[in-house]
Structure 1
Amino acid sequence: MNDVAARYPQASIERTVEWVDTDASGHQHNSAILRWVEGAEAELFRSLDLPDYFPSAPRVQQVINYRAKLWFGQRVTATVRIHTLGRTSMTLAFEVHGHAQGTSEGGIAAYGTVTTAHVPAGASSAQPWPAHIREAAGPVTGDTY
Structure 2
Amino acid sequence: MSRLNPRASIERTVEWVDTDASGHQHNSAVMRWVESAEAELFLRTLQLPDYFPSVPRIHQEIHFKAKLWFGQGITATVGISKLGRTSMTYAFEIHGHPHGELPGGLAAFGTVTVAHVPPGFQKAQPWPAAVVDAVASARDE
Q: TM-score surpassing 0.5?
A: yes
State the alpha-carbon separation in 2 of the partners of residues 138 and 9 from structure 1: 9
* Other-structure match for 1:20: 17
State the alpha-carbon separation in 2 of the partners of residues 127 and 32 from structure 1: 30
Alignment of 1:27-106 (within 5 A): 27-46=24-43, 47-106=45-104
Aligned length, in residue pairs? 136
State the alpha-carbon separation in 2 of the partners of residues 111 and 68 from structure 1: 10
Q: Counterpart of 1:138 in 2: which secondary structure?
A: helix
State the alpha-carbon separation in 2 of the partners of residues 137 and 119 from structure 1: 18
- Deviation string 1:87-142 (CA, Å, 9 cap, x unpaired) is 00000100000001112121000000010000000001000000110111138xxx
TM-score by length of 1: 0.90
Unaligned runs of 5+ in 2: none
Q: Identity, % of aligned pairs?
A: 68
- The runs of at least 4 consecutive aligned structure 1 residues that moved more than 3 Å come to none
Unaligned runs of 5+ in 1: 140-145
TM-score by length of 2: 0.93
State the alpha-carbon separation in 2 of the partners of residues 99 and 51 from structure 1: 30
